[in-house]
Chain A
Amino acid sequence: MRDLPTGPALLALARDVLLNQLMPLLPPKAHLEARLVAKSMAIAEREAILGTAPAPGILHELEELYREGDEDKQVLLHRFARDLRVGAFEQGEPRERDAREILWRLTIAKLRNANPRFLKANGFS
């Protein structure tokens, strides 16, 4: 049980103070750094809400792909990367499509954290 406001709420407020109250007082040469600070706070806020690990659903899909439920999730992700390197999914259409779907979902989930604006600019909600 933590006191309120929550960490993400404090980050959002602090970011607002930085951009709207402090930024006008800073010399122009410090604006870029201030924006980078604000960007970092926004990422930290989103990660505090959404978590830093790939979405559990995606990891479950990996388990489905390999039909293995007891392997460590990170180990599975490493194995997936190694298999993609050697073209392990190129032999059959369903598995190749499944692998590609996981790549998409993984990437979109990461960008929701890191840069949702970029995601939107590319036509993804």
Chain B
Amino acid sequence: MAGTGSPQSEPRVPGVAAEDRRTTLARFLAAASGAHAVEVIGLTPLRGGAIQENWALDAYFSGGAFSGEQRLVLRTTAPTGVATSLGRREEFAVLKAAFAAGVTVPEPLWASDDPEIVGKPFFTMRRVEGTAAAHRITRDPALDPALPAIAEQLGRELARIHTIRPPRADLAFLAPYEEVGPTHQIAGFRAYLDRHPTPRPVLEWGIRWLETHIPPPTEPVFSHHDFRTGNYMLDGTVLTGILDWEFSGWGDPHEDIGWFCCKGWRFARLDREAGGIADRAPFYRGYESESGRSVEPRRVFFWEILASVRWAVIALQQTDRYMIAGERNLDLALTGRRATECELEILMLLDPGGGASGA
């Protein structure tokens, strides 16, 4: 998930000085890449990623296939997270599968679970240029003429992600679709609301609608599960990478489409239904041309309602990290307020024309 995160110090192993840490990391990089030696030139926190920590890692490789200066990202886990996200080793495997499927992603390089290197599991990937800042992307008038084509390309990228199908030995850690489909998700939402101290009548109403409108089963595909504006990188008008794969797993192909289009991810442009960047038409066109399958609006509608419920629950969980886990982060503390925005969207979709009495 995108976010601001709090100011971070360099990843650390308790009792180990920063200099020794860089040396240990450099040794790991050398061994993993086949270099004679590696010097870590810079390690600085990157913005974005409320659940994971991302570090800009600049290193000089002497010898081996990566000889020269390399601009990388080191991705590790934040102090508290969301229970449903993948571990870093698993996210690394997912990124490799996406890269092999031709999806535009930063090339994944090396991963380690060794706590002696940076204190927790991590992986490295190439650093791609550009911005993922959703408000900037949806607000910048200079980008406007290019956005429909970008939406179409994102449709094609999504179709490529969906070419990955079960069973996959390299992705055997992913829960079977039967355990993550709509019925399971609905049960998860209700279990969370049962633990939440404040009643959420609109979410309960929306979940009830979902429960009574589950679409017929379909062949599952590999789904990003957080495919949206804010999770892709643009360098000017060039798409340079699909980011943040920590929620990925098997899913209904329409699930990612509903998530991309739901109002919660349109940022400054609520009127542009495909991620705040374009109408749905170019996005759907890109998806259909690459996949050879038609987008079914009724299924998208179901998954869009589910997306609003899911985003509301995630928003509340983010604030739990402040309220319950004690993570002192203003962004997280405020995110829970967005749940009511999702509730308004649920009402607008399921009761169009309603709300006159409350206005």
Contact = CB atoms under 8 A, between A and B. Distances in A.
Interface of A: 29, 32-33, 36-37, 39-40, 43, 74, 77-78, 80-82, 84-87, 99-111, 114-115, 118-119, 121-122, 124-125
A81 B199 contact: yes
Contacts, number: 98
The list of the 8 closest CB pairs from A to B, nearest first, reads: A108-B358, A81-B199, A105-B358, A84-B204, A104-B358, A104-B355, A114-B337, A81-B201
Contacts of B343: 103, 107, 110
Contact of B357 (A36, A40, A105, A118): A105
Contacts of B359: 108, 124-125
Contact of A107 (B4, B202, B204, B337): B202
A87 B207 CA distance: 10
8 contacts: A32-B4, A36-B334, A81-B199, A104-B355, A106-B358, A108-B355, A111-B340, A125-B359
Interface residues of B, number: 32
Query: SS class of chain A's interface: helix, strand, loop or mixed?
Result: helix
Please indicate which of the listed interface residues A103, A110, A118 has the most CB atoms of chain B within 10 Å of its own CB: A103
A125 B355 CA distance: 11
Interface string B189-204: 0100100000111101
B331 A85 contact: no
B4 A36 contact: yes
A80 B201 contact: yes
Contacts of A109: 358
Interface of B: 4, 47, 190, 193, 199-202, 204-205, 207-208, 212, 270, 330-331, 333-334, 337-338, 340-341, 343-344, 347-348, 351, 354-355, 357-359
B204 to A, nearest CB: 4
Contact of B330 (A33, A114, A124): A33
Contacts of B354: 100-101, 104
B357 A101 contact: yes
Given A36-B330, A107-B344, A115-B340, 6 more contacts: A43-B337, A85-B207, A101-B357, A107-B358, A111-B340, A122-B348
